[in-house]
Structure 1
């Protein structure tokens, strides 16, 4: 584009110079020719005035006059180097220095003759019929003093010399014009290059800016109009770069917020087309955003109730809050908020913002909280009712029976102990769940630690003739809170002993995994846990066999406390069990924290 512009600009400049030179040359040639002819005319006029004054005029017949004046005309031609002609007023030629006047036509109609007779001076430039070349004719009227007749004296000179001069001048002008053309072409190209080269750079920068390269800048070398244009382009690029940087930062911030939100966000325009959909919304709806962006919300075919709510939102254009159950891609309870979006000071409806929140866990926690309160109430009610009942019996007179009073008091003591353990476990679990139990980490020799822990429960195991076997590598240390670690294994071993029949066996195996974690397996040959109960055994107050659990003095909180303490140690606990054959608890704890 700019190369074409440069060529056009160069052509225009050369054309203007050429036209100017040609016009000047033509004007110069015309002026030169006119000035030369005017000089010749003045010269011829003076010479004719002089001839007319010095001429001897005679009278006679035409034949006599022709002979006389022809002789004079020939002599005058030799003196003036011009063609001399004498003509009567009626156009008859009396003498001519170059041609026989008797054979010449009547000259009364010639332009210079008419001009001389009418105006006193006649001039004409034309091709001579007799000499066949361009001639300049000048004529004046003269009076024959001998016969009082009016003659016309005419001098003619060839214009060949003038034409030769003009031809020479034309050649000079043409050569000069060609030289000027070359110089003008070079100068004009230089001028065009000086104009278009900065424009080329500006155009290149403008294209780079159009292609979003906002770092492109014009190198300004002059403070002329093109330099001002370059400065304007640079200022525009600076402004665009700042604005685009801000826009990108805002987009990145918005994208980061949307991508990391725990709630699903879907934004639709006033026509119902989906504009924005974050990652969480993809997970909740089970549909990729790439399949929905730009499409209508009705294409969310798996969720009919959701489509109906969105349709209601577009119809009412009011805030809608609902909870609905989704069954795809999995069953969950969702809280929906449909918020209408308005622009232009809240007058122009521009779409709807849908916020999806998975409240399944919240509702499950609320249910667990309710169950926990109910379970606590139930667990507290049983020992309190026993204490109250036996106390009332004693107050009613049973205290006088020493054996009965002693038995009742022992029951009251046991129930109060059970109540104390229950309250203690509840407080302990509450502290652990609220992360108010700091871990005091120290190196623990796991083999020696487990020997000491088993020793604590040796009496209970011996009472049921249960062997507790330990298999552990020597000198294996791990970083842990020794008191909390003991609490974990006392609970697990107590359960293993409690739910293993007499004569059974409990095994503790300790090993080091490839991931450099300590793996501890506690297996028993007890009654086992049904498969349906395995996912829930770590819940608070959950019991597989409620009657036996109460008879064993358990509170139903032990395994829940164990799970929380294992998680505080950044470890994991799993369980495997077969009814009638036994149960295995598997713990994996990091060596270092």
Structure 2
């Protein structure tokens, strides 16, 4: 038989009421019985203490036996307890009732000697309380034994005997039994009332819930427009209103989910990193455009295929498989053609931490790897450039200090070498600081209209001596006039010296360095071409880096610091111009820079 909510609620009400009444009734009955018995025991103790001094007089012969027996009879009648007076040997010498009936026979209490175990504690001066079945009565009794002393106070003086007071438990518990009887009737009445209330409340709650069930079934079919009537201000009415709010929320949530899906698609499409998602069963679920470009396959083609066949790199397949097996985020790198890729694969987990699939983010780190390599080379080159002159300076200085060199000419030569290496270090540090300030935008120069032709001629004249020393000629092929440019004469001179020095240093003896300049597109283009060893094409993008060396053939034997071209590029940037290079190995190199003319500023 299937029970509805109505029957369940009503049955629950009845069971709760019944359990509550029975539990409280039993506890109350037990508490009342215990309290009544304890109160009776304390009453008997109090009566025994009050009788103590009179009993002491009786045991010492100071109180008449007749009057004392009458006192015991009165105490028996008012307390319902049988009173015995016992001497120090445990012999009952006087009782409030002489005769007693127990275990099917009639016997006299007076002259009866109690067992030593019954009298040991009380004759030792202690008040004794006992409850239970006694061999001298046909029913359970409460027994209180009070020691009788010469002072009339227990615990002081000599113990003369004891007073035993025995009260039947039946009379003590009769009151508790009557109260429990009343409690049973109250429980039956509560059960009837609870049944009526349960019927009413169960119908009040179950009726609107049945209506909600019908509405919920309609919503499960996709009809989120279903609403129910919300009547009353109690919890059921609030539940009905909450149900309607839930329907509104679900309708809005479905719309929001469609919007979020569109946003997610847009985000994945705009990411520069590739995103690949796979499921536990081995099917490829998602590829964004960046991943499509990296892997060379479209999402439409790969969707539903085994991702182990779609992914072109074994390292990436292994990362996915390990993530699916362990449920942990893993990272790794791999080669994809000429590109160096970094992958971070994360598991897709349920609330119970079960792995549903995995998603990977792929990033091209080729440029970052190149930058890191250039950084390491810069540190190595800088260390080398600093160590070489320091080694020379230390070696020559040690020789001079130790007196190894005594010839004046050699000593002078050593001093000159130390000076040259010191100046080389000074140029290196100065160039490093200059480059750092230029790259950090901390150089402030005055920009004024300049005659670039005059600056070129003056700089070529300065470099003529160095060129002749290497048997190199400098040929200036400049037009008669050039428009003025906006610039700083000192910095442009520094730029020309760097380019001319490079051209002279890397030209073959007997070669020629040609300087050209012309106006193009409201700019002045100046170029310096040599006929030297040239630069391989693959090295051209990196020659502007600090200390960059193409190969050993490009390592100069002169006094350069390896920072010239880096400084040259920053000087051109400072002038808001451009600089570039063209070169053919074995035929020569041409550096060209452009500056804005005055009329374009």
Q: Normalising by structure 2, report the TM-score.
A: 0.51
User: 1:239 and 1:530, CA in 2 relative to 1: closer, same or farther beyond 3 A?
Assistant: closer
Cα distance in structure 1, aligned partners of 2:251 and 2:481: 67
Other-structure match for 1:347: 353
Cα distance in structure 1, aligned partners of 2:443 and 2:301: 48
Q: How much has 1:410 moved relative to structure 2?
A: 0.2
Verify the 8 A CA contact 1:263 1:355 in the aligned structure 2: yes
Other-structure match for 2:500: 493
Cα distance in structure 1, aligned partners of 2:424 and 2:478: 34
Other-structure match for 2:581: 574
1:467 to 465, 474, 494: 474
Other-structure match for 2:308: 298
Q: How much has 1:537 moved relative to structure 2?
A: 3.6
User: 1:355 and 1:498, CA in 2 relative to 1: closer, same or farther beyond 3 A?
Assistant: same
Verify the 8 A CA contact 1:292 1:299 in the aligned structure 2: no
Unaligned 5+ residue runs, structure 2?
1-221, 223-244
Cα distance in structure 2, aligned partners of 1:485 and 1:245: 64
User: 1:548 and 1:363, CA in 2 relative to 1: closer, same or farther beyond 3 A?
Assistant: closer
What does the per-residue CA deviation read over 1:321-341, in whole Å, with 9 as the maximum and x for residues that have no partner?
1122222xxx22222111012
Other-structure match for 1:396: 402
Unaligned 5+ residue runs, structure 1?
1-209, 211-234
Cα distance in structure 2, aligned partners of 1:520 and 1:259: 45
Verify the 8 A CA contact 2:445 2:488 in the aligned structure 1: yes
For the pair 1:375 / 2:381, whether they are aligned, the reply is: yes
1:524 to 502, 505, 530: 530
Other-structure match for 1:287: 297
Verify the 8 A CA contact 1:466 1:502 in the aligned structure 2: no
Cα distance in structure 2, aligned partners of 1:424 and 1:586: 25
For the pair 1:587 / 2:593, whether they are aligned, the reply is: yes
Other-structure match for 2:89: none
Q: How much has 1:283 moved relative to structure 2?
A: 3.5
Other-structure match for 2:419: 413
Q: How much has 1:492 moved relative to structure 2?
A: 0.7
Corresponding pairs, count: 354
Cα distance in structure 1, aligned partners of 2:299 and 2:487: 45
Cα distance in structure 1, aligned partners of 2:355 and 2:321: 15
For the pair 1:310 / 2:320, whether they are aligned, the reply is: yes
Cα distance in structure 1, aligned partners of 2:547 and 2:445: 25
Cα distance in structure 2, aligned partners of 1:259 and 1:556: 44
1:426 to 429, 432, 444: 432
Verify the 8 A CA contact 1:473 1:510 in the aligned structure 2: no
Cα distance in structure 2, aligned partners of 1:258 and 1:412: 62
Output aligned runs, 1:28-39, within 5 Å: none
Cα distance in structure 1, aligned partners of 2:259 and 2:325: 36
Q: CA RMSD in A?
A: 3.8
For the pair 1:324 / 2:331, whether they are aligned, the reply is: no
1:360 to 351, 363, 366: 366
Output aligned runs, 1:551-566, within 5 Å: 551-566=557-572
Q: How much has 1:285 moved relative to structure 2?
A: 2.6
User: 1:443 and 1:269, CA in 2 relative to 1: closer, same or farther beyond 3 A?
Assistant: farther
User: 1:483 and 1:310, CA in 2 relative to 1: closer, same or farther beyond 3 A?
Assistant: farther
Other-structure match for 2:277: 267
Verify the 8 A CA contact 1:334 1:357 in the aligned structure 2: yes
Cα distance in structure 2, aligned partners of 1:288 and 1:443: 57
Q: How much has 1:542 moved relative to structure 2?
A: 3.5
Cα distance in structure 2, aligned partners of 1:308 and 1:559: 45
User: 1:321 and 1:526, CA in 2 relative to 1: closer, same or farther beyond 3 A?
Assistant: closer
Cα distance in structure 1, aligned partners of 2:537 and 2:294: 30
Question: Comparing 274-283 with 542-551, which one deviates more in the overlay?
Answer: 542-551
What does the per-residue CA deviation read over 1:507-557, in whole Å, with 9 as the maximum and x for residues that have no partner?
22223445x554332112334445675555434324457588543211222
Larger radius of gyration, structure 1 or 2?
1
Q: How much has 1:394 moved relative to structure 2?
A: 0.5
Q: How much has 1:493 moved relative to structure 2?
A: 1.1
Cα distance in structure 2, aligned partners of 1:479 and 1:251: 55
Q: How much has 1:559 moved relative to structure 2?
A: 2.1
Verify the 8 A CA contact 1:467 1:504 in the aligned structure 2: no
Q: How much has 1:414 moved relative to structure 2?
A: 0.4
